[in-house]
A and B are shown apart, each in its own frame.
Chain A
Amino acid sequence: MKVRKEDWKRMAAVAAMSAPAIAFMTFDFVFPNISSPSLDKSVFVAFLLSILFGMPSGYLTRRTDLAILTVLIYVFLGYSLAIVAYSAPFVFYDFHIVFPGLYFLFFLNLTVIPLMMFVLGGFIGVVLGQLLGESFDREETAQAFSRGHP
């Protein structure tokens, strides 16, 4: 199916709201002792939060394929933002790299499992968000009929 300009706008808006959470959780997974608040490297908590942050994609996007695409977009954006935060002392300030040689590999090594959790949790969140949206719609319809104004 065709993706319209409106759809891209909607996906961008939802991604902008969900990406910071992914970025923070990824950064926190690398440096749990200096980030605040911290999840203390708990993959389970990160997974639950990623389900929560997948729900707006499902709730605000009717089409499932676009909702799943939104999840991929915000996980990509969030992960990129986390890499920027991880690199901040060396890119924006003149500090020496802590782990030279394995700089990005070290980051990827620590965060690859949470990254998968974010995608999986996002997909589950999409399903739950769409169920929630349909439930809200049914409720609104029922209330409108009960008032006699369909």
Chain B
Amino acid sequence: MSVMKDLRNRWFVTMLSAAAGLFFAGALALSTLTYVSVMEAREGVELRNAVESAELLSNGSLKVSLSIELINPSPHCLRINSISWSVRIDNTTAAPLFIPVTTAYAGASAGIVVDANDGTTLGFEGFVSDPERLAAIRGFANFSAGSDDDYTIEILPYLHDFRVVAWIDNFDHDYQYYRELYLNDMVRIERSYYGGEYR
């Protein structure tokens, strides 16, 4: 008896097997395409066009700000888990080693979502009005006046440290066991802008 004739005689089981085979082939293809698009997000998401500024206000406070674009070229949205921004001045001449200027943080509760194939501009502003901290910043600027660096308080070498962590879409990511931690990394995106460099 030929194979086809035998399979036709046992058509019920053959049809069930073929249908299940097709279903799982489709599921595999769909999952593989999802895997590819997740990889697209992991590699394609980037920070760009950072604009730093510092301004001395009329009331004597210092306003420091950063504006930066988060580009998402992937077909999945990004759910921002945390954004941290800190500004400091590295002091290589004497203690302290650095002068903190300002910091800011936004968590998951902020509910920031970057749509698929889209981008958003993230902006932060910090105001320094603490006299002690302002004095340290002014002292750094005045000290540089005696050296080759002719700084003013607006053009000091502020070091912006900006970090953003996001989850890709709604994929599960709360795995706790050691052998499953890679799944969290799989759908996690972390980008940073530090000292003028994008990472």
Contacts and interface: CB of A to CB of B under 8 A. Distances in A.
B3 A9 contact: yes
A17 interface: yes
B35 A89 contact: yes
Given A41-B180, A60-B13, A60-B14, A36 B20 contact: no
Contacts of A88: 32, 35-36
Interface residues of A, number: 41
Interface string A84-111: 0100110011011011000000000010
A61 to B, nearest CB: 10
Number of chain B interface residues as a range: 35 or more
Interface string B12-47: 011001101110110110111011101110110000
B187 A34 contact: yes
B28 A16 contact: no
Given A59-B13, A60-B14, A23 B36 contact: no
Interface string B30-70: 11101110111011000000000000000000000000000
Contacts of B18: 17
Contact of A20 (B3, B25, B30, B171): B25
A98 B31 contact: no
A27 interface: yes
B199 interface: no
Contacts of A10: 3, 6
Interface of A: 6, 9-10, 13-14, 16-21, 23-25, 27-28, 31-37, 41, 53, 55-56, 59-60, 81-82, 85, 88-89, 92-93, 95-96, 98-99, 110
